[in-house]
Amino acid sequence: MNLDARGRRATQAVLRSVTRVDPVAGLAELLRRRRRRRITRAATALATATMLGLVVWVGVRGSERVMPVSNPPPGALGRVAATIPVGTSPVDVLVSQDAVWVANAGQGTVSRIDPATNTVTQTIQVGRNPVRLAAGFGSIWVANQTEQTLSRIDARSGQPRATIPTPTLAPNQLAVGAGSVWALAGYSLLRIDPATNKVTRVGADWELVDGGLTVAGGRVWLSGRAYPGVQPIVRVNPATNRKADTVPTDADGALAAGGGSVWHASSVTRSIHRLDPKSGRTLAEIPVEVVAKHLTAGDGSLWVGSDSGRVTRIDMATNQVTGTFQVGGRAPAVTTGLGSVWIVDTAHAALLRVQPTA
Amino acid sequence: MQTPRSARRTARAALDGKPEAVRLLGRFEYFYVEEYPRVVALAYALSGSRAGAEDIAQEAFLRAYRDWDRVGSYEHQAAWVRRVAANLATSWLRRRLVEARALTRLARRWEPTVEPLAGGDAQFWMAVRALPRRQAQVVALYYFQDLSVQQTATALGCAEGTVKAHLAKARRTLARQLQPEPPEDR
């Protein structure tokens, strides 16, 4: 008997072995586990809060002084110059070609905003659930996660130029560099040739989810988690479309390149790691006290959008937090350009134009 | 075993009146009832644990449920759950947890509903479990997806070439390790 025949027979045997399994009983057990997990979480949160309270109480009594706050108070980043209503569930923003672009995940559109008037001048229909934007090659690129496509919009006219399928894979990260557009979809890295819109799937012998993607130091960087936790950064060589090496890290989140460094968010330590783009060595770890979801480099600063709605500015020259800003909703995307900071207010379906303090 | 249709009816009845269960009704419930036994089988094949297979399958479905807003919109929801189950079943840490939980259950004279495998079939899956993690996942999903490289790649979220490469290595190892079976008595 050849291997395939034997494999088929063994598969049939294992499928027969579960004939007594009762999905309904399993469902009841699943509900029980959900309840148990909720109780465990609540107990863990209570224990953590008690421990923290104890630590703070001991610290205050021991030192007779209040612990310093490392983050400036909310609002220290700048003042709101304009509030611009956009589409439903805005999730990403970028500045390109003298315009500001916002991806509205809830209605499958991209808003184009004229910075001279602070108004939406175009609403462009893209695919379902657009979650990421990138600019390059005279185009705005949109990752439509649910539709499993990329939309390409002409950055000058705002007209859709192409819809590029990413077969069976849901793209959720985008980056531009090394002459290509790169998308992270499932575990796979996709490379899009801007001349032909052809998609090439780059070998994926890694398992990374919910992380980041950027291009720096002649490499494409991928980060994320896999069961059971944080995984090393994977660096892909664009010349060969193969994994070049991995970088050990205890960070797991978003990536950004700028100021001669790569920036990597850690949900574990609630900090930002500054990495050398060549060696991958950690140059600094900057505590931000939030779980960072979006990183953007610009105007000599790193801008961090976090799960709690706080936007944090880190001065690249000093690695210090120099300003924070609080918005409604979670994980606000943030970018800079045209003399302003642009922050997505997810709770109010609006884009905030913030005039940064010097 | 109940048919999927009767299981759905029973599930509805069983969940009636439970506030936390109400939100389960709908697409997740249908998906769950259709896929659950198959995912248990996959978990058994890859973990080798009769007692832990249901545990792994439930964990995979729990994650799907928790993320149903996202997972429910996928074209290949079943592939997603199988991938999670395959990852859980081949995780060393997870195996230890599953075994510990199974021992607790066995101590309470709990009887697993998964029947044991025997002879050549048990030997086949034992050899698969001895493969490197990724190769074991590829082989199991390949046979569970009826020898489709494309569907296996979809389930694992990787390229077909990657699946083929893992499959080729795994086949060489399996061919070495699996002894030819004696002809069956007629």
B54 vs A26: CB contact, 8 Å cut-off? yes
Does B29 or A342 have the greater pLDDT score? A342
| pLDDT tier for residue B61 given thresholds of 50, 70 and 90 | confident
Closest chain B residue to A185, measured at CA = B157
pLDDT higher than threshold 90 for residue B181: no
pLDDT of residue A72: 57
For every residue of A115-141, DSSP letters joined together read: TTTTEEEEEEE-SSSEEEEEEETTEEE
Residues 6+ positions from A237 with CB-CB distance below 8 Å: A218, A219, A243, A244
| pLDDT tier for residue B19 given thresholds of 50, 70 and 90 | very low
Which of B:105-144 have CB within 8 Å of A?
113-117, 120-121, 124-125, 134, 139, 142-144
B2 vs A35: CB contact, 8 Å cut-off? no
Any chain A CB within 8 A of the CB of B157?
A: yes
> What single letter denotes the amino acid at residue A221?
W
Q: Where is the domain boundary, B72, B95, B116?
A: B116
Q: Are residues B152 and B108 in the same domain?
A: no
Any chain A CB within 8 A of the CB of B16?
A: no
Share of residues in chain A with pLDDT > 70 (%): 82
| Predicted ipTM of the assembly | 0.79
| pLDDT tier for residue B45 given thresholds of 50, 70 and 90 | very high
- pLDDT tens-digit map of A277-312: 999 999 999 999 888 999 999 989 999 999 888 999
Answer whether residue B185 is part of any domain. no
Q: Are residues B77 and B152 in the same domain?
A: no
Q: Are residues B65 and B123 in the same domain?
A: no
Tell me which of A17, A38, A41, A234 to substitute to probe the interface with B (most B C-beta atoms closer than 10 Å): A17
A205 vs B134: CB contact, 8 Å cut-off? yes
Q: CA B67 → CA A333, B41, B73, B78, B80, distances in Å?
A: 22, 23, 10, 14, 11
- pLDDT tens-digit map of A3-30: 888 898 999 999 988 888 877 666 666 6
- pLDDT tens-digit map of A319-352: 999 999 988 878 789 999 999 999 999 888 999 9
Q: Are residues B108 and B130 in the same domain?
A: no
Contact between residue A327 and residue A343 where contact means Cβ atoms under 8 Å apart: yes
Closest chain A residue to B14, measured at CA = A24
| pLDDT tier for residue A58 given thresholds of 50, 70 and 90 | very low
pLDDT higher than threshold 90 for residue B78: no
B32 vs A27: CB contact, 8 Å cut-off? yes
Least confident of A37-41, B29-33, B60-64: A37-41
B58 vs A24: CB contact, 8 Å cut-off? no
Domain that holds residue B146: 118-179
Which of B:21-80 have CB within 8 Å of A?
21, 24, 29, 32-33, 36-38, 40-41, 44-45, 53-54, 57-59, 61-62, 65, 73-76
Average pLDDT over residues B141-169: 87
Q: Are residues B67 and B141 in the same domain?
A: no
DSSP H or E run through A296: strand A292-298
Answer whether residue B25 is part of any domain. yes
Residues of B in contact with A131 (CB under 8 A): none
Mean pLDDT of chain A: 85
Q: Which residues lie across from B36 on neighbouring strands?
A: none
Contact between residue A234 and residue A215 where contact means Cβ atoms under 8 Å apart: no
Q: What total number of domains does chain B contain? A: 2
Q: Are residues B90 and B144 in the same domain?
A: no
Handedness of CA A295, A298, A299, A301 (dihedral sign): positive
Answer whether residue B172 is part of any domain. yes
Any chain A CB within 8 A of the CB of B95?
A: no
Q: What b/e string do you get for B63-74 counting C-beta neighbours within 10 Å, with b at 16 or more?
A: bbbeebeebbeb
Residue B118: CB atoms within 10 Å: 10
Answer whether residue B145 is part of any domain. yes
A227 vs B54: CB contact, 8 Å cut-off? no
pLDDT of residue B17: 45
Q: Are residues B6 and B45 in the same domain?
A: yes
pLDDT higher than threshold 60 for residue A71: no
A188 vs B1: CB contact, 8 Å cut-off? no
Answer whether residue B184 is part of any domain. no
- pLDDT tens-digit map of A178-214: 999 999 887 789 999 999 999 998 866 676 777 899 9
Residues of A in contact with B74 (CB under 8 A): 170
Average pLDDT over residues B138-166: 87
B44 vs A18: CB contact, 8 Å cut-off? yes
CATH of the domain at B168: 1.10.10.10
Answer whether residue B186 is part of any domain. no
Answer whether residue B164 is part of any domain. yes
A9 vs B120: CB contact, 8 Å cut-off? yes
Q: Are residues B166 and B152 in the same domain?
A: yes
Query: Which pTM value belongs to this model?
Result: 0.57
Q: What b/e string do you get for A241-276 counting C-beta neighbours within 10 Å, with b at 16 or more?
A: eebeeebebebbbbbbbbbebbbbbbbeeebbbbbe
Q: Are residues B11 and B52 in the same domain?
A: yes
Q: Are residues B4 and B82 in the same domain?
A: yes
What secondary structure letter does DSSP report for A209? B
pLDDT of residue B122: 86
Q: Are residues B4 and B90 in the same domain?
A: yes
pLDDT of residue A197: 97
**A255 phi, psi to nearest 5 deg:** -125, 150
pLDDT higher than threshold 70 for residue A75: no
Answer whether residue B129 is part of any domain. yes
Q: Are residues B19 and B84 in the same domain?
A: yes
- pLDDT tens-digit map of A220-255: 999 987 655 677 899 999 999 998 999 988 888 999
Residue B95 to chain A, least CA–CA distance (Å)? 12
Q: Where is the domain boundary, B116, B131, B157?
A: B116
pLDDT of residue A303: 95
Q: Where is the domain boundary, B116, B144, B168?
A: B116
Taking one residue from A and the other from B, the number of pairs with CB-CB distance under 8 angstroms is 163
Q: How far apart are CA B183 and CA A95, in angstroms?
A: 71
Residue A357 to chain B, least CA–CA distance (Å)? 38
Contact between residue B152 and residue B139 where contact means Cβ atoms under 8 Å apart: no
pLDDT higher than threshold 50 for residue B21: no
